[in-house]
Structure 1
């Protein structure tokens, strides 16, 4: 696996083309799983681990890597599966989500495969609300399961959804110039519900879509009566990684559609913030907010509805 993850440049060329690269791996058994290579910093043999007292049982220890200490999560346990048995011969996928670095312990790493987001499909119906799947795809005639990492983190780390009073005060400035309604596009049910609860606290309603294709179709439906979108929704909040159509492609389609091109688009994702800041400009989005920072999300949305720069006053906002 050494060398496969060395070059970021080749992978960034995929962004905005509705394509991605998946790192395939196994837990216990033959089933293969996938994770977007953009979120992977490196893949290593499991290093020596130190136990953390009173930590969640799914965090099997911490590792000291490159002058930093990161938690190591047994991904099998995290998705209510069997734990990794042979820890000494296991691998750790070091990832960055939501500005945090962590490692996922897996039994084995397979390879990286390049595919289109249109080949990434919603999980089969009947998988149940308790499923940790956010999507599936097929490689070599085998179904690959893609895990809802937002749910894993919510279960293990918990999620703070509290909003500071100073942030909420901005909602008192709302006027009738913009509708208090937002289209939220995200394939994770956990993420959608988190966003919905934050928006409810600032007095904003929302329409939900499960992926970019569904989001675009929702916008088209809103236009059927001939009323401009500006009179129906204030903005779109979109994830980037989604089945069928990713957030970059959704933004590009919005900008190319004369009926939608003036719509405000805010990208909301756990992918690297440094990379996304450049992609915001490339695909024509207006702003980027990292997951999941309730104060930052609420502040940015309130500012947009109030016709302000979403970053105004951000230096005074803190999300622990």
Structure 2
């Protein structure tokens, strides 16, 4: 499917306008799933895989593509739906997540759809904590499920949530400051939460840009001076209802929110995000997920926030 990544410039224009394109695929049944096209490098028929001894059962092996060795995860197995092919028949969606390249084995690739983030909704409340859904949407009267890939990556590949010794500066006045965390992935929220707790920074959590903006409006209604009260906002980019780009752009047009520091913290990486930081008015971009990098940036901003405003008043 060589046309998947054609017209990247055109797709880039979608960002900042609360729009995205989803690549639809299947995992052995009729249910269709979606993944943001910006995460996709290419789609190929499943190549010969080299087995990895003692690896996670969902890792079907590694593929050798243009001089790179990448792990291939059976996405169906990773979400507990079982293996759809013993012989690795199907397609591999090669993606970039969290500073790494990996392939997701799927049974079929359907098509690309263009839609607004407001059409992407949080999963039903009955989905439960063990659900692998991060969002759902409707296409042709069919429910499309968006998998929480960060949860899959955490469970299959792992990774530490701990800040390394020597990174935390105990001299910073952290407790008198506040951070707003915005992310639709429960795993990502918990990862950021753990870093902030290790830094002893008070925080508020939001599941998407719309909820975050409503929280900001509520704080304003209470009389809070947001630039003084909030040391920073740590926001994901891909989120239902309102994405991180749109949240940032909306804040920059809203009186009393313009000066709040926004860190876009996303598994989408590359030059594209640096350009979008400037376009929507964010202060910084950081690719997920390295606890030490996040801790350093948060502490740097806490210092600068205190120098600029002093300890915030809790109005």
Name the TM-score class by shorter chain. Answer: over 0.9
- Tell me if 1:289 matches 2:286: yes
Write out per-residue CA displacement over residues 34-80 of structure 1, whole angstroms, 9 at most, x where no aligned residue: 00000000000000101011111100000000100000000000000
Other structure's SS at 1:41 match:
strand
- Tell me if 1:271 matches 2:268: yes
Other structure's SS at 1:281 match:
helix
Which of structure 1's runs of 4+ aligned residues deviate more than 6 A?
Answer: none
Which residue pairs with 1:173 in the alignment? 172
Give, in angstroms, the shift of residue 4 of structure 1: 2.8
Partners of 1:117 and 1:245 within 8 A in 2: yes
- For residues 127 and 164 of structure 1, what CA distance do their matches in structure 2 show? 35
Other structure's SS at 1:89 match:
coil
- For residues 168 and 175 of structure 1, what CA distance do their matches in structure 2 show? 11
Other structure's SS at 1:223 match:
helix
| Count of aligned positions | 305
Which of 284, 296, 299 is the aligned partner of 2:296?
A: 299
Other structure's SS at 1:240 match:
coil
Which residue pairs with 1:213 in the alignment? 210
- Tell me if 1:149 matches 2:146: no
Query: For structure 1, which segment, 3-12 or 243-252, has the greater mean C-alpha deviation from structure 2 after superposition?
Result: 3-12
Query: For structure 1, which segment, 79-88 or 41-50, has the greater mean C-alpha deviation from structure 2 after superposition?
Result: 79-88
Partners of 2:252 and 2:259 within 8 A in 1: yes
Write out per-residue CA displacement over residues 138-190 of structure 1, whole angstroms, 9 at most, x where no aligned residue: 11110000000110011011121121233202x423379xx421000000111
Partners of 2:63 and 2:69 within 8 A in 1: yes
RMSD over equivalenced CA pairs, Å? 1.3
Structure 1 portions without partners, runs of 5+: 309-320
- For residues 90 and 189 of structure 2, what CA distance do their matches in structure 1 show? 33
Structure-1-length-normalised TM-score: 0.93
Structure-2-length-normalised TM-score: 0.94
Partners of 2:245 and 2:280 within 8 A in 1: yes
Write out per-residue CA displacement over residues 202-241 of structure 1, whole angstroms, 9 at most, x where no aligned residue: 1101100000000000000111122311332211110000
